[in-house]
Amino acid sequence: MTDAYRVLVTGSRLWADRAAVEHQLRIAAAEAERDGKRPVLVHGQCDPRHPDTRRLIPWDTAKRMSWEVQGRYLGGDWLAEWCALNFTRVRWEIERHPADWAAPCRGTCPSRSHRITGRDGVSLCPAAGPYRNEEMVALGADVCLAFVLDGSRGASGCADLADKAGIVLRRFPARAYLT
């Protein structure tokens, strides 16, 4: 038995509802306190997106922005960490699991020819995200909070893996509305 209350967050890259993320993390923190455990936020460290342009912002670049600007960025992983670090009463431990997109393909990849070339010319394995999700779920969690926008494959896939692993799943689906 561990003294950690592990909260696995999986979220769509364009998730914008910060209040929903904050509310669910407060509930999880209360559950951790009730059980006499320290809250640990586990996420895949997907780069956030800019709220106006929807462009990816590298995680390290986003961390250098002002606190107010950081709070506007989009993405389930990003918002979960931002909210957890913003809590004053609860001290969250953060556990990040970024996907290694440039890693060699694994034996379960369909073929070596499925690799794609990134903007910087680096060869990438498109299955790196799902592999990362499998690894996070295999580490175990007390609860999985899934913030899924428009049926996002990555967030939905991670949530399904958590559910199959017997992790308590709380799914929060949403639809994007065009303005």
Helix residue ranges per DSSP H, 48-152: 59-63, 67-70, 76-86, 128-138
pLDDT at 157: 96
Burial readout 17-48 (b: 16 or more C-beta within 10 A, e: otherwise):
bbebbbebbeebbebbeeeebbbbbbbbbbbb
CA distance 162 to 168: 8
**Mean pLDDT rounded to a whole number for the chain:** 91
Average pLDDT of the segment spanning 28-42: 96
Confidence of residue 133 (pLDDT cuts 50, 70, 90): very high
pLDDT in tens, 39-56: 999 999 999 999 999 899
pTM for the full predicted model:
0.91
Average pLDDT of the segment spanning 125-139: 94
In order of start, what are the domains of the chain with their CATH numbers? 4-174 (3.40.50)
pLDDT at 175: 72
Does 174 score more than 70 pLDDT?
yes
Strands (E), the chain: 4-11, 38-43, 93-96, 116-117, 123-124, 143-149, 168-174
pLDDT at 107: 83
Confidence of residue 145 (pLDDT cuts 50, 70, 90): very high
